């Protein structure tokens, strides 16, 4: 059985999400130690968050890690739908790789310089790319 090419970018984005997880904790744990923060104290006081205590640049990685669990969930689902229909090669796979590239660039921008307008453009382009994949999947499964 040939593996659908569209699954490759899906797995690549999963791997990138884990890279962001490592980057998040590689910066967050030292920042928490520098702040002499007792993590249990946050659990006891829900009015305080790490956003209140840690430097913003440290938290940018955590915010991006969270973002990688939002719209990309639709990406994973649409990749599976397209793969299951046997249409996971060619332009579908190429568009999926474009989506992954845009999300990775978005992550790097958010985690480093965090320029909101640049992030917005990258997020918008990735959303349009995702819409194209969803439209393609809809055409396949609804046969229009």
Retrieve residue 85's tokens: 């229909």
Let me know if residue 15 belongs to a domain: yes
Let me know if residue 83 belongs to a domain: yes
Position 1 pLDDT exceeds 70: no
pLDDT at 71: 96
Domains in the chain: how many in total?
1
Which pTM value belongs to this model? 0.95
Q: What is the mean pLDDT of the chain?
A: 96
To which residue do tokens 């890279």 refer? 19
Let me know if residue 1 belongs to a domain: no
Let me know if residue 127 belongs to a domain: yes
Let me know if residue 125 belongs to a domain: yes
Distance between CA atoms of residues 12 and 1, nearest Å = 21
Let me know if residue 92 belongs to a domain: yes
pLDDT at 66: 98
pLDDT at 46: 85
Distance between CA atoms of residues 7 and 3, nearest Å = 8
What's the pLDDT tens digit per position in 46-103? 888 999 999 999 999 999 999 999 999 999 999 999 999 999 999 999 999 999 999 9
Of the pLDDT bands very low, low, confident and very high (cuts 50, 70, 90), residue 131 is: very high
Burial label, 96 (beta-carbon count in 10 A; 0-12, 13-18, 19+): buried
Let me know if residue 49 belongs to a domain: no
Let me know if residue 95 belongs to a domain: yes
pLDDT at 68: 98
> Residues near 19 by Cβ (< 8 Å), separated by ≥ 6?
none
| Residue 94 structural domain | 7-44+54-142
CATH of the domain at 19: 1.20.120.550
What percent of the chain shows pLDDT beyond 90? 91
CA distances from 122 to 13, 35, 105, 117, 132 (A): 16, 33, 8, 9, 15
DSSP labels, 62-100: HHHHHHTTSHHHHHHHHHHHHHHTT--SHHHHHHHHHHH
């Amino acid at each position: 059985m040939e593996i659908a090419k569209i699954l490759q970018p899906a797995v690549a984005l999963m791997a990138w999400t884990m890279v962001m997880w490592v980057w998040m904790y590689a910066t967050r744990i030292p920042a928490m130690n520098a702040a002499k923060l007792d993590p249990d104290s946050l659990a006891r006081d829900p009015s305080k968050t790490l956003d209140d205590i840690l430097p913003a640049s440290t938290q940018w990685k955590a915010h991006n890690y969270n973002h990688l669990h939002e719209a990309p969930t639709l990406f994973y689902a649409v990749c599976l739908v397209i793969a299951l229909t046997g249409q996971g090669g060619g332009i579908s796979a190429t568009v999926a790789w474009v989506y992954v590239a845009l999300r990775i660039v978005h992550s790097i921008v958010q985690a480093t310089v965090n320029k909101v307008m640049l992030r917005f453009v990258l997020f918008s382009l990735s959303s349009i790319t995702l819409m194209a994949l969803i439209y393609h999947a809809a055409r396949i499964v609804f046969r229009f």
